[in-house]
Chain A
């Protein structure tokens, strides 16, 4: 059983502040690392697919880094806004495009 862990489980951020959180995953048999944003009552939204060690990806104020050798990825939110409030999921991609999800980090941005 693959172990994909996210920390913290939840965090509160003041509007305008920047924040980051972690996803750790097995460093062997790596195919891809996926990040999703999941707002309540909506579909999880694909943010990033990362495949190479050292990858950095950016989408607006959200960015992610990848370290496959040590098995972790960081997601950063710069200048948090209330609309960034969501659960952020990471998923370890294995052969056959199978995903193993972490438990998620629930972000609440307070005005």
Chain B
């Protein structure tokens, strides 16, 4: 149980295009999902918290107009990188909040590697 999928697993795009990444909880419902990114040799960094049916909450320094998040259902959140530029090249990974022994925990997707040329 508690499987999260992410699509696509990797994408290469030209500078200026927009890229949409999907995050799905396959066998549970998640009112809260999270989006992270990881630059080479760095830790996973939280970008935003996505709540079903409401606006996402962005971490300091993350541009909400550049990284559009939509959490339209209890099993799907999407992250759109608008007008992507080479500096947006990174590893993006989502998680969905679920229950585990001892409390709530985040279940992660496998991530999406984005390369902007």
| CB <8 Å contact, B103 and A49 | yes
| CB <8 Å contact, A103 and B110 | no
Other-chain residue from A51, A89, A100, A101 in contact with B103 (beta carbon distance below 8 A)? A51
Contacts of A41 in B (CB 8 A): 110
Of A14-22, A74-82, A91-99, which binds chain B?
A91-99
Interface residues on B, range: 20 to 34
Interface residues on A, range: 20 to 34
Q: Which residue of B lies closest to A38 (CB)?
A: B108
Confirm or deny: B115 has a beta carbon within 8 angstroms of a beta carbon on chain A. no
Contacts of A57 in B (CB 8 A): 102
Q: B4, B42, B97, B106 — which one has the most chain A CB atoms within 10 A of its CB?
A: B106
| CB <8 Å contact, A49 and B46 | no
Assess A97 versus B110: contact at CB under 8 Å? Given A46-B100, A49-B100, A103-B42.
no
Other-chain residue from B4, B44, B101 in contact with A49 (beta carbon distance below 8 A)? B101
Q: Which residue of B lies closest to A94 (CB)?
A: B46
Contacts of B75 in A (CB 8 A): none
Confirm or deny: B43 has a beta carbon within 8 angstroms of a beta carbon on chain A. yes
| CB <8 Å contact, B110 and A98 | no
| CB <8 Å contact, B102 and A89 | no
| CB <8 Å contact, A43 and B4 | yes
| CB <8 Å contact, B46 and A100 | yes
| CB <8 Å contact, B32 and A97 | yes
| CB <8 Å contact, A43 and B103 | no
Other-chain residue from A43, A46, A100, A101 in contact with B105 (beta carbon distance below 8 A)? A46
For this complex, 28 residue pairs linking A to B, each with C-beta atoms less than 8 Å apart, are: A4-B43, A32-B103, A34-B105, A34-B106, A41-B110, A42-B110, A43-B4, A43-B109, A43-B110, A43-B111, A44-B108, A46-B100, A46-B108, A49-B100, A49-B102, A49-B103, A49-B104, A49-B105, A50-B102, A97-B49, A97-B104, A98-B34, A98-B46, A98-B49, A99-B34, A101-B45, A102-B43, A103-B43
Q: Which residue of A lies closest to B97 (CB)?
A: A97
